[in-house]
Structure 1
Amino acid sequence: MSTRKLNVLVYTGTGTTIASVRQCIYTLRRLLSPNYAVIPLTESALLKEPWAPTAVLLVVPGGADLNYCRVLNGTGNRIIDAFVRRGGSYLGFCAGGYYGCARCEFEVGHPERGMEVVGSRELGFFLGTCRGGAFAGFRYASEVGARAVRLDVRKEAFAGAGVLPESFRSYYNGGGVFVDAGRMGEAGVEVLASYEEELNVDGGEGTAALVYCKVGAGGVILTGPHPEFAAVNLEPHPDVEGYDEVISALAEDDEHRTNFLKACLAKLGLEVNHDNTSIPSLSKLYLSALDPEVVGGLLTSFDTIIDKDGKGRELIRGENDTFLIERQDSRWEAVDDLSSALESAHISTKDSGAAKSRYDAGQAAAVDGLVDYNKVLKTVVPHETSWPGPKETPYFNHADYYASLQEFRRREAEAYEWGDTLMYGEVVTSTNTLLEKNTSLLAQLPTGFTMAATTQIAGRGRGTNVWIAPPGCMIFSTVVNHPAHLGQDRPVVFIQYLAAIAIVEAVRSYDGRLRDGAYADIPIRLKWPNDVYAQDPANPWRDTAKKVPNFVKIGGILTNCAYSAGNYQMVVGVGINTTNGQPTTSLDALLTRFSQRHNLPPFRIERLLARLLTRFESLYRDFVRNGFTRDMEERYYDAWLHSGQVVTLEAEGGVTAKVVGITRDWGLLKAQELGIDGRATGKVWALQSDENSFDFWKGLVKRKV
């Protein structure tokens, strides 16, 4: 399988500040999506989980580096150092910059202030000292010492970087200067930017504000200031003299700051997003049905969870989100109330006229700044007489979807219900979150109710992971109410395997022919338990001579389950790169590279969604009747990547075992234990993951059977 690394991890453990973490994640997602997933990394995950093999960059944000030392000295720092020396990258902002140096000196000679910090640091990526504060006035948890410092950019350090400013102003609050960095060129140190103003400490040659260090096979950038802080995310502090001017100065130089940061990330080998558009805002959710009259009945079933506010608006107040039901005669009311909805989510509305234009309820406008999307009112537009038209949903053709659904149902005798009702949003937080986290709404939804989207801005993966879901990715979640009395003989764990089989068979039978169709040779595979892989069209062979294919991830399955009213209520989420080439590859690219039949039409998301739902429904109905049959098991094995794979049971002292399948009771991984001679010992183990967020195949633990 491909070794391409897609995770950018932001450390969020002891010592980091909430503001620094939020600014860091916001800026990195804006500059790196959809090419990478920017994911929070706790101190426990850093110390115990196998994050390094899938990470391209570790980011340590601002805070207090003494606390970093307290929890990471020893084991943590050895893990970080090995990650970098083996080719990873490290980016330390402010406290993360101090932490990456061989020595930290902060407020030396001022013990009366209670802030003096002096001592060596284990990582030592920069072999010298970071000395601060570079400017006077710092106070912990305060903006009193904050300022907009001007940085002179060393363009010679960014060969081929494109547009770069001569200088720009950056947020600063307590950072240091990298002493004598200008003399360390022979040690692999480059000054990326220097302070223009006179410093409060001796910075030596270079007055270096940001440095790059070559460390083993990897690269490191350390900063004194906070170039990741965007002015739009800074809140006014009337009690701090001159702070408004700081925000204004930073706002004026924001484009320069962004271009400089892009150059820094590119220097670390990352592929940045050169589109300066902001993260899109949430769009309306359009509720429709194959038979539009069904929508009215569904709304009636919502009566017990709909209430009216003081303005007479119909609201569903879910456990995580609030939904406004915007019937055809209430659209203008929603626009009138838009400003208050944005304010409740902490979106600035200083210019109310501009805000109403930018955040028009019918548009997927861009949002600048941090937003609590859980607090944004979600508008649901029911279509009780017709399907949404192209003006309302320009990126999803409802007529194509429903026509395809009917076409495939004529070929699938067991498919006649799933996908009948569809809620679609051009831009949503997460289709799984909107259903699974709002249990009162979920309890009213029938099996087969589906939510689809064009773009997710908070897509979820396993554990704390996020799923990169740019336009061109088929994104949907479907409700499955699995009767609890079937739980013993028809365990819910197998439903994710049914979804996996459905994905492969839907792609291969996109033309409607389940066997020997025109799309049957598309090289799509399954990685246990919930990832979808495909042969990389750009680099198809891991070993060309032996014809060992190279696979990359193109999708995944996320299942959530809760019990309610005699059912296991499952939300099965699926994301598949369909027409988008980033961050890995897409079904369309596979079609062009591997199809043995020429001139096949590209995949349409609407048609593929309909095909997948009909396949999934047919498989589920067979499962309810007959259980997870031998035929289903063989179809799953035909598509997976693991037959004969040897795994190491780390918790058992390095015992090895060969994968032979999944258990038929609870869907665990079944493996034959191997002796030191590589032969089977006769023992068979059922394996499950330790539930780390990064790799199910690391940390496998055995369960006796």
Structure 2
Amino acid sequence: MSAPPTAGTTSPPFNLSRLIDSPLFAQVAWHDAIDSTNTLALQSALQPELPTPYLIGAEQQTAGRGRGNHRWWSAPGALTFSLILNPRTDFAGPAVPPLNENCWPRISLVAALALCDVLAERVPAGKPRLKWPNDVHLAGRKVAGILVEVPPQPAGTARRLVLGIGINVNNSLAQAPEEIRSVAAALCDITGGPVSREELLLDWMERFGDHARSLATGAADLADGWRSYCLLAGQTVTLQAGNRTVAGHCLGIDDEGALLIDTPTGTERCFGGVLVRIQPSPAQGASR
């Protein structure tokens, strides 16, 4: 269903003032080029006086990081940013309690769910999917990656969290290496034209805040959301979790964010690990 590749797509001028003026962020810092927004965010998070949510973005990353040793390929037109958050206070309100640290491991899923919601409204035919634990797919290929890190907590500093996201927006994959083109997608290639990156970011941030508040209040329908987008449900998966290998039929994602895998010895609840093999069921085909 993808539109013809849009080689040479020109990204619309980035309206930084819309982010600076938005009440969704306490402060915004945007760079032409940087090694990694998450690396800078981890360093900046150590400053006791830093206001949050603090947004760090870049037009291009030269050493963007993903989970483990993975690197994020970034080209002009991508949307790459990191948020420094104090989850206990940034989403709290009269009817919303502080987001306790036992909920923080689910923030990656909450961020992915927010992006799936936004993409479902913008590109419904693309059928966005959440690939546990930290990727978003559109039209059967990866369109975004998420990396959550918790920096050290110096004395006198509130405990913070860094949420990094890279989204292929106007960086047409016609310019990417072949090994990336086969598994990744850019919004401009799917929609057939450029997309406003600041509008996408603002839409995502608003939805992310809503879902983070739902996480804090224990809203039951939050988990229904990430289950509805789960890409792995119904497939046979193999997960490397530390020194253990878990293989079986994926039952989806539970309320606490664990991947459920039906194995010959029972159902395993996996809270982390690396997916090393995915085998689609015959009904789903082998498109993923």
Q: TM-score normalised to the size of structure 1?
A: 0.32
- Offset from partner CA, 1:589-622 (integer Å, 9 cap, x none): 1113xxxxxxxx7411111111111111121122
Matched, 1:687 2:288: no
For 2:109 and 2:272, the matched residues in 1 are separated by 16
Counting only pairs closer than 5 Å after superposition, residues 153-232 of structure 1 correspond to structure 2 as none
Give the equivalent residue in structure 2 for 1:77.
none
Matched, 1:662 2:253: yes
For 1:457 and 1:560, the matched residues in 2 are separated by 19
Give the equivalent residue in structure 1 for 2:202.
610
Gap change, CA 1:419 and 1:438, over 3 Å in 2: closer
For 1:396 and 1:567, the matched residues in 2 are separated by 32
Give 1:452's aligned amino acid.
Answer: G
Gap change, CA 1:610 and 1:672, over 3 Å in 2: same
Give 2:126's aligned amino acid.
Answer: I
Give 2:261's aligned amino acid.
Answer: A
For the Cα contact (< 8 Å) 1:452–1:476, is it kept in 2? Answer: yes
Please report the RMSD computed on the Cα atoms of aligned residues, expressed in angstroms.
3.0
- Offset from partner CA, 1:6-29 (integer Å, 9 cap, x none): xxxxxxxxxxxxxxxxxxxxxxxx
Matched, 1:558 2:147: yes
For 1:477 and 1:558, the matched residues in 2 are separated by 9
Gap change, CA 1:655 and 1:520, over 3 Å in 2: closer
Candidates 130, 134, 138, aligned match of 1:526: 130
Counting only pairs closer than 5 Å after superposition, residues 135-534 of structure 1 correspond to structure 2 as 395-401=13-19, 405=22, 417-441=23-47, 443-483=48-88, 486-487=99-100, 490-510=102-122, 519-534=123-138
- Offset from partner CA, 1:135-171 (integer Å, 9 cap, x none): xxxxxxxxxxxxxxxxxxxxxxxxxxxxxxxxxxxxx
Shift of 1:699: 8.8
For the Cα contact (< 8 Å) 1:561–1:570, is it kept in 2? Answer: yes
Give the equivalent residue in structure 2 for 1:587.
187
For 2:189 and 2:146, the matched residues in 1 are separated by 21
For the Cα contact (< 8 Å) 1:483–1:566, is it kept in 2? Answer: no
For the Cα contact (< 8 Å) 2:227–2:253, is it kept in 1? Answer: no
For 2:126 and 2:240, the matched residues in 1 are separated by 35
- Offset from partner CA, 1:444-494 (integer Å, 9 cap, x none): 323321111110111111122211111111111111112397536x52001
For the Cα contact (< 8 Å) 1:650–1:699, is it kept in 2? Answer: no
Give 1:427's aligned amino acid.
Answer: A
Shift of 1:658: 1.7
Gap change, CA 1:648 and 1:554, over 3 Å in 2: closer
Give 2:88's aligned amino acid.
Answer: P
Give 1:505's aligned amino acid.
Answer: D
Shift of 1:574: 0.5
For 1:439 and 1:650, the matched residues in 2 are separated by 31
Give the equivalent residue in structure 1 for 2:211.
619
For 1:463 and 1:655, the matched residues in 2 are separated by 19
Q: Any stretches of 5+ residues in structure 2 without a counterpart?
A: 1-11, 90-97, 279-288
For 2:159 and 2:44, the matched residues in 1 are separated by 15
Shift of 1:500: 0.3
In our comparison, the structure showing a higher alpha carbon Rg is: 1
Gap change, CA 1:662 and 1:640, over 3 Å in 2: closer
Q: TM-score normalised to the size of structure 2?
A: 0.75
SS at match of 1:686: strand
Shift of 1:566: 7.3
For the Cα contact (< 8 Å) 1:395–1:426, is it kept in 2? Answer: no
For the Cα contact (< 8 Å) 1:395–1:454, is it kept in 2? Answer: no
Gap change, CA 1:655 and 1:621, over 3 Å in 2: closer
Give the equivalent residue in structure 2 for 1:578.
169
For 1:654 and 1:474, the matched residues in 2 are separated by 34
For the Cα contact (< 8 Å) 2:19–2:28, is it kept in 1? Answer: no
For 2:55 and 2:239, the matched residues in 1 are separated by 39
Shift of 1:419: 2.3
For the Cα contact (< 8 Å) 1:504–1:524, is it kept in 2? Answer: yes
SS at match of 1:422: strand
Give the equivalent residue in structure 2 for 1:637.
227
Give 2:100's aligned amino acid.
Answer: G
Gap change, CA 1:498 and 1:422, over 3 Å in 2: same
Give 2:117's aligned amino acid.
Answer: E
For 2:127 and 2:195, the matched residues in 1 are separated by 15
For the Cα contact (< 8 Å) 2:26–2:54, is it kept in 1? Answer: yes
For 1:558 and 1:477, the matched residues in 2 are separated by 9
Shift of 1:532: 1.8
For the Cα contact (< 8 Å) 1:689–1:699, is it kept in 2? Answer: no
Shift of 1:578: 0.2
For the Cα contact (< 8 Å) 2:45–2:160, is it kept in 1? Answer: no
For 2:276 and 2:120, the matched residues in 1 are separated by 31
- Offset from partner CA, 1:51-106 (integer Å, 9 cap, x none): xxxxxxxxxxxxxxxxxxxxxxxxxxxxxxxxxxxxxxxxxxxxxxxxxxxxxxxx
For the Cα contact (< 8 Å) 1:401–1:606, is it kept in 2? Answer: yes
